[in-house]
């Protein structure tokens, strides 16, 4: 479905939990109040919402969180999403710590691709950023995902003075493996307001200085506004998600559904439409039609662009682990 700026909105990120087994400094504070189970959308409610979304033109879903692998029966949710007629792909973004032990089941359930977050290859630094000594588990998860054949991407957020010197090492994963390494600019959302990111423009310049023959790669079409390059001799590719320096809003194609059922038209504004209210208070035979109306309304309400560069306008108070990234 097109929004009022003629963007095709065909992608929904679904957060399946607010819980996480890490505490990345720019995403989640150390102490958070756990939500009660009944505040979170049930498996059936997620599928019901996805069915309505597909009728509104959504064909791609990404499961996120918190950490989606902490959600019980996540493979079953993937299987059910994949079996909705019209769904083209179901992917997941995960911190990877529980991936090695789950990848086979996820693959069997139909998972098309996985994005694994990795901000450091140094054990101490990894622990400093994420709060946990889990780098080995994450690297096992990356290896398992690559070996499984599930399409794999690595997502890296660089922070000034913390891990900004690691792009070269992390990039090498894409040299040696058929994966995409993508640099995501730090966004001033929630905890992210307390840290300094690195401009992707700078990383791209540094890459061009180090490697000859870097070319734009227009053949890659992920779920959204990432732009890609190809470096000669690399098995994989490199991508940039430049929320800040690239202001990617003209190619925005998404809605976000939080674990509590808040349907968000845009990351940087607090506005949302309440899916859970409809699911729990409507007559059963009216739910699908009402959800469809709500989703269409969310698409209509999408603003032209985010306002990260004007913090006073940035009304969202939820933090990334509550939204799903
Ligand atoms: N736990 C999973 C993971 O880490 O991939 C999924 C949820 S996490 C919120 C999704 C993505 O959002 C991660 O790649 C994370 O690095 C990114 N993220 C979190 N806070 C961010 C921020 N302030 N700016 C940019 N990216 C952020
Ligand atoms: Fe957890 Fe992912 Fe946020 Fe890190 S980025 S705290 S792994 S939700």
Instruction: Quote the CA–CA distance of 227 and 225 in Å, as a whole number.
Output: 6
Please give the distance of CA 179 from its chain centroid, rounded to a whole number: 17
Residue with CA at minimum distance from ligand 2 atom 8: 66
Contacts of 43 (CB under 8 A, 6+ apart): 73, 76, 77, 80
Q: Are 270 and 301 in contact (CB under 8 A)?
A: no
Residue with CA at minimum distance from ligand 1 atom 12: 325
* 191 membership: H or E segment, kind and range: none
Q: Say yes or no: CB of residue 68 within 6 Å of ligand 2.
A: no
Instruction: Quote the CA–CA distance of 134 and 138 in Å, as a whole number.
Output: 6
Which tens digits make up the pLDDT trace of 271-315?
A: 999 999 999 999 999 999 999 999 999 999 999 988 787 777 778
Whether this prediction's pTM lies above 0.75 is answered by yes
From the CA of 115, how far away is ligand 1's center (Å)? 10
- Would you write out the chain's pLDDT as a tens digit for each of its 325 residues? 999 999 999 999 999 999 999 999 999 999 998 899 999 999 999 999 999 999 999 999 999 999 999 999 999 999 999 999 999 999 999 999 999 999 999 999 999 999 999 999 999 999 999 999 999 999 999 999 999 999 999 999 999 999 999 999 999 999 999 999 999 999 999 999 999 999 999 999 999 999 999 999 988 766 677 899 999 999 999 999 998 887 788 889 999 999 999 999 999 899 999 999 999 999 999 999 999 999 999 999 999 988 787 777 778 889 999 999 9
Ligand 2 atom showing the smallest separation from residue 27 Cα: 3
Residue 198 phi/psi, 5-degree rounding, is: -120, 135
Angle, CA 118 vertex, CA 207 and CA 132 arms, to 5°: 145
What is the fold, at CATH topology level, of the domain defined by 11-323? TIM Barrel (3.20.20)
Which tens digits make up the pLDDT trace of 105-134?
A: 999 999 999 999 999 999 999 999 999 999
Q: Say yes or no: CB of residue 23 within 6 Å of ligand 2.
A: yes
Q: Say yes or no: CB of residue 67 within 6 Å of ligand 1.
A: yes
Ligand nearest to the CA of 28: 2
Angle, CA 156 vertex, CA 90 and CA 180 arms, to 5°: 55
Ligand 2 atom showing the smallest separation from residue 321 Cα: 8
Closest CA to 150 of 218, 192, 100, 86: 100
């Amino acid at each position: 479905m097109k929004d009022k700026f003629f963007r095709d909105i065909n992608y929904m990120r679904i957060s399946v939990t607010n819980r996480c087994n890490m505490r990345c400094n720019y995403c989640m504070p150390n102490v958070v109040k756990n939500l009660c189970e009944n505040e979170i959308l049930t498996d059936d409610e997620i599928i019901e919402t996805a069915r309505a979304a597909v009728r509104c033109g959504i064909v791609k879903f990404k499961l996120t969180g918190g950490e989606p692998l902490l959600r019980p029966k996540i493979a079953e949710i993937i299987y059910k999403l994949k079996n909705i007629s019209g769904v083209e792909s179901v992917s997941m973004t995960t911190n990877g710590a529980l991936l090695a032990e789950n990848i086979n089941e996820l693959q069997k359930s139909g998972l098309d691709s996985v994005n694994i977050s990795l901000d450091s290859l140094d054990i101490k630094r990894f622990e400093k950023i994420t709060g946990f000594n889990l780098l080995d588990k994450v690297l096992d998860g990356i290896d398992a995902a690559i070996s499984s054949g599930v399409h794999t991407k690595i997502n890296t957020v660089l922070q000034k003075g913390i891990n900004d010197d690691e792009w070269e090492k992390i990039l090498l994963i894409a040299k040696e493996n058929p994966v995409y390494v993508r640099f995501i600019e730090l966004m001033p959302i929630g905890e992210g307001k307390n840290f300094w990111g690195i401009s992707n423009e700078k990383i791209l310049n540094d890459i061009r200085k180090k490697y000859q023959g870097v070319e734009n790669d227009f053949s890659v079409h992920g779920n959204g506004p990432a732009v890609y390059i190809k470096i000669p001799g690399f098995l994989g590719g490199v991508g940039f998600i430049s929320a800040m320096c690239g202001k990617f809003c003209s190619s925005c194609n998404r809605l976000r559904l939080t674990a509590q059922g808040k349907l968000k038209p845009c990351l940087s504004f607090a506005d949302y439409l309440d899916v859970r209210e409809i699911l729990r208070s409507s007559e059963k035979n009216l739910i699908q039609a009402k959800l469809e109306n709500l989703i269409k309304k969310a698409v209509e309400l999408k603003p032209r662009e985010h306002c990260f560069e004007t913090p006073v306008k940035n009304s969202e108070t939820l933090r990334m682990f509550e939204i799903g990234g």
